[in-house]
Amino acid sequence: MNKLVLVIIFIITFWFSSKPGNESISQSDKILVAAKILTVEDLAMRTTKYRVCDKIIRKAAHFSLYFMAGMGAFILTGSVGKSVLIVFLMGGIDEFHQYFVPGRGAQFTDVLIDTLGGTTGAVVTKLTISNYKVLTAKSKKDGSLENYNASR
C-alpha cells in the first residue's frame, strides 16, 4: 500500500509534466484567476504582477507535490535520507522528461525545489510519528489519556 501511494504521486507528477507548455500555462492561469489573485486583464497583459504570481504558483505546486512524495517515501522507507534520495531522483527524472515536452524545459532549480519539498515532507512525517509514539508511550505510562477521556 505504501508503495502504491508513492507510485500514484509519481504518476500524477508525470501526467502534469507531460502537458505541453501552453496547456501548463493555461492551468496556472486558471488557478490564479479562480483564487482571485489576478484578473483576466492581468493575464492578457502579462503584467509584472502576473509573472511574479505565475512563478510563485508553479514553484508552490512543485514544493507541495514533492512534500507529499516525501511523506510517502518516509512512510515507505522509515529514513529521511532515503526519502530525500527518492524525491531527488523523482525530480530529476521529471525534469529530464519535461525537456522533451513541447514548450517545456528542464530546470535544475525545480529539482532543488522538489527536493526541498520532499525533504520537508519526510521531516514533518518523521516528527509527527515520533511525537505520536512519545505521547502514546507517556499516556500508557501515566494514564493521562484515560484521565483525559474520562474528563470529557
**Residue 82 half-sphere exposure toward CB, CA atoms < 13 A:** 9
Nearest to 69 by CA among 81, 86, 57: 86
pLDDT in tens, 28-50: 666 666 666 666 676 666 777 77
- Cell readout for 73 is 517515501
Tell me the domain boundaries of the chain.
Answer: 2-122
CA distance 140 to 152: 18
pLDDT in tens, 61-95: 889 999 999 999 999 999 999 999 999 999 999 99
pLDDT in tens, 103-139: 888 899 999 999 999 999 999 999 999 998 888 877 7
